[in-house]
Structure 1
Amino acid sequence: MKQRNRTRKGAIVTALLTLSLATALTACSGGNKENGAAASATPPSDYSKSLSLVSAVSDGTAALFKEIDAAFVQDWKDRTGQSVAIEQASGISFAQESAIVGGQLKADVATLGVGIDIDAIQAKGLVGEGWQQRYEYNSSPFSTAVAFVVRSGNPKSIATWEDALKPDVAIVTSNPDTDSDARWYYAAAWAYSLDKQPDDQDAAQAFVTSFHNQVAVLAGNDAEAEKAFLDENKGDVWVTTESRALSLANGAAKGKVDVVVPDVTLTVEPIVSVVDSVSDANGTREVANAYADFLFTETAQTLAAKHFFRPRFESVAEQFAGTFAETTLLTVDDDLTGWEDLQAALFADGGLFGQLPAK
């Protein structure tokens, strides 16, 4: 795997000096880079009392987080003796953001599909400033990539983005207006064009327009796109995430589909933050911090890889050699100019997607 201009490769901190049991349990796991107010303000806990934690996740990671939740509950019990119950709330990323902002979802911690959804939560004062710098890898514990699902045997010989845009190829994908995670798919076409022709936004707009023109099914979400492609036999290629594609190719759709990862594609990076105001109000800040930290441990990284998400730890990646295709992975932060600019160019009012023909 190659990554263009990737700069965040710092070592993961695996232990800190133990000053007290509460401090150690808050900071001992690998991802947390923060030694500031959010961590130091955590009061000592009464571990004899059980508590509940609400974890908000986006749909594409729900199955993985069920296993992570169980592993964390056991790990926390082993370290503190405290019983924790985790309630998982899963849904489309921007629907999760909206529910948290509106107060309908009292999530202690959120792992959403796009960083700007957590930015929106921060803008309402529910998450502290600088939240994305609390953890390594820009607070993204694992990743996947934009990939293609094709019929078994790949009858249209689709290997590259250009192949997917051939006149006789019909694309199935999800609608960024109804599924915020689907922003990655259109962003991937944008990123590919800019990687090929740097700074040529006219060419990128033309490429994304050509991509959209080949879309035969613009589904409401990934589940609907999956149904259209697999059950209704629509389209020649389904543009989705590598994790979802590999899960199906190795499970329910085994023998029916092949997975193609283009030689240059966009990294999809789920991103985590404790919802500071909620966890403080609930008295769960310490365990919420520890839960977020746990995502950057070898245990959680291994579970991620088993669910076909690319782990951050090289030690774990080595155990899954051959699972993930060799490719050049672009990132929004390092190869584009961040989600704020990308949102404005593609998906906000006046952006390119709103100017494309309705599907």
Structure 2
Amino acid sequence: MRKFLLAAVAASLIAGPALAQDKGPDTILNVSYDISRELFAAINQAFIKSWKAKTEQNLTINQSHAGSSRQARAVLEGLEADVVTFNQVTDVQILHDRGKLIPADWQKRLPNDSSPYYSLPAFLVRAGNPKNIKDWDDLVRPDVKVVFPNPKTSGNARYTYLAAYAFAKEKYGSDEKAEEFIKKLFANVPVFDTGGRGATTTFVEREVGDALITFEAETNGIRDQFAAKKFEVVVPSLSLLAEFPVTVVDRVVDKRGSRKVATAYLEFLYSQEGQEILAKLHNRVHHPEVVKKYQANFPKVRLVKVEDTFGSWDKVNKEHLASGGKLDRLFGSR
């Protein structure tokens, strides 16, 4: 785990009177990914209380949720996000590449490449795990139906695609074998919802499929919320590190005068209080004391990084995710 940097965050959180003198607007908009509603409802409540104590300002934090890639496009098309809290680096990077809404070095502004927490693709199966699903191989069996959202619109599903590809490439030894594996996986999906929350509804409420693939945090949240259904969480032998990058949207915060509060909001995610909230809601975090406190809640898993299997996010974007890339071809052949 990369070294968790606290100094920069602590300096900005101990602002006190200076913040009180220049509060800025009393509303900000956080544009986020589809399944983060409950997470940021908890974060917002805590931050609003903290901000009030420091500035005496009553703050309102508005939320917008949809598939991460759809949200990135909405911001590019004019949705005035003070901050974005996405689930894929490329969905933040595009705000610089196509809109110059943020600087090129946005990842250097906060610790851990501006990713305050992380997760991984995991499986949620029905009570008793009747199909005995243990690893990625089981998801391509002809008797198994799998649910996850459309990787063309969902960052969540793109992690699923990349994790499955990484598993297959390592196990079977070539890109060609990995592509055949992905074709079988896509063929086993009865319906592709546009985002993670829609896929959850399909699996849980419509009772479609034998396994739901989503972030580990979401699988545990669903298990807790629907305890009567006795869902089980399965963490595969190998999965992909899913980082959750955040940034202020510079063009918006400078226009609205909201840079101070927007920056403090994101830095709160790195504070011990923020990391506690994240960990309680089943996200893996970096703060050493919080990691130690919650380590029993997170099974050990071999996590590979995008750089390990694919070279870089830039290479993934060009070879897999861009129009006409591998994902387009494999998804179209399902």
Tell me if the contact between 1:148 and 1:259 (Cα under 8 Å) persists in the aligned partners: yes
**Is the alpha carbon distance of 1:215 and 1:204 closer, same or farther for their aligned partners in structure 2, counting shifts above 3 Å?**
same
**CA deviation vs aligned residue, 1:140-191 (integer Å, no higher than 9, x gap):** 1111110111111111111111122222222122111233432111111112
Look up the match of 2:218: 244
SS at match of 1:218: coil
Out of 292, 296, 305, the residue aligned to residue 270 of structure 2 is 296
Larger deviation, residues 51-60 vs 123-132: 51-60
Residue 150 (str. 1) matches residue 125 (str. 2)? yes
Look up the match of 1:222: 196
Look up the match of 2:317: 343
SS at match of 1:320: helix
Question: Normalization by structure 1: what TM-score?
Answer: 0.84
Give the number of the structure whose residues are more often helix, by fraction: 2
Matched residues in 2 for 1:196 and 1:214: separation? Answer: 20
Matched residues in 2 for 1:257 and 1:166: separation? Answer: 21
Look up the match of 2:135: 160
Matched residues in 1 for 2:24 and 2:199: separation? Answer: 44
Q: Structure 2: give runs of 5+ residues left out of the alignment.
A: none
Matched residues in 2 for 1:25 and 1:173: separation? Answer: 39
Tell me if the contact between 2:146 and 2:189 (Cα under 8 Å) persists in the aligned partners: yes
SS at match of 1:329: strand
Look up the match of 2:284: 310
Q: CA deviation at 1:139?
A: 1.0
Tell me if the contact between 1:50 and 1:82 (Cα under 8 Å) persists in the aligned partners: no
Q: Alignment identity in percent?
A: 31
How does 1:226-305 map onto structure 2 within 5 Å? 226-305=200-279
Q: CA deviation at 1:265?
A: 0.7
One-letter amino acid of the structure 2 residue matched with residue 13 of structure 1: L
**Is the alpha carbon distance of 1:152 and 1:290 closer, same or farther for their aligned partners in structure 2, counting shifts above 3 Å?**
same
Look up the match of 2:163: 188
**Is the alpha carbon distance of 1:227 and 1:300 closer, same or farther for their aligned partners in structure 2, counting shifts above 3 Å?**
same
Tell me if the contact between 2:25 and 2:256 (Cα under 8 Å) persists in the aligned partners: no
Q: CA deviation at 1:27?
A: 7.8
One-letter amino acid of the structure 2 residue matched with residue 218 of structure 1: F
Q: CA deviation at 1:16?
A: 8.1
One-letter amino acid of the structure 2 residue matched with residue 25 of structure 1: S
Q: Structure 1: give runs of 5+ residues left out of the alignment.
A: 1-5, 18-23, 29-42
Look up the match of 1:46: 21
Tell me if the contact between 2:67 and 2:196 (Cα under 8 Å) persists in the aligned partners: no
**Is the alpha carbon distance of 1:48 and 1:304 closer, same or farther for their aligned partners in structure 2, counting shifts above 3 Å?**
closer
**Is the alpha carbon distance of 1:83 and 1:25 closer, same or farther for their aligned partners in structure 2, counting shifts above 3 Å?**
farther
Q: CA deviation at 1:296?
A: 0.8
Matched residues in 1 for 2:23 and 2:115: separation? Answer: 32
Q: CA deviation at 1:45?
A: 6.9
**CA deviation vs aligned residue, 1:304-351 (integer Å, no higher than 9, x gap):** 111111112231122223322211112224553222222333332222
Give the number of the structure whose residues are more often strand, by fraction: 1
Task: Please give the root-mean-square deviation of Cα atoms over the aligned residues, in Å.
Answer: 2.4
SS at match of 2:311: coil
SS at match of 1:176: coil
**CA deviation vs aligned residue, 1:88-117 (integer Å, no higher than 9, x gap):** 2222212221221121x2111111121111
Look up the match of 1:113: 87
Matched residues in 2 for 1:16 and 1:253: separation? Answer: 37
Matched residues in 2 for 1:48 and 1:218: separation? Answer: 44
Aligned length: 330
Larger deviation, residues 240-249 vs 319-328: 319-328
**CA deviation vs aligned residue, 1:216-252 (integer Å, no higher than 9, x gap):** 3333322332232223332221111111111111112
Larger deviation, residues 150-159 vs 324-333: 324-333
Look up the match of 1:96: 71
Matched residues in 1 for 2:66 and 2:204: separation? Answer: 22
One-letter amino acid of the structure 2 residue matched with residue 355 of structure 1: R
**Is the alpha carbon distance of 1:345 and 1:27 closer, same or farther for their aligned partners in structure 2, counting shifts above 3 Å?**
farther
One-letter amino acid of the structure 1 residue matched with residue 47 of structure 2: F
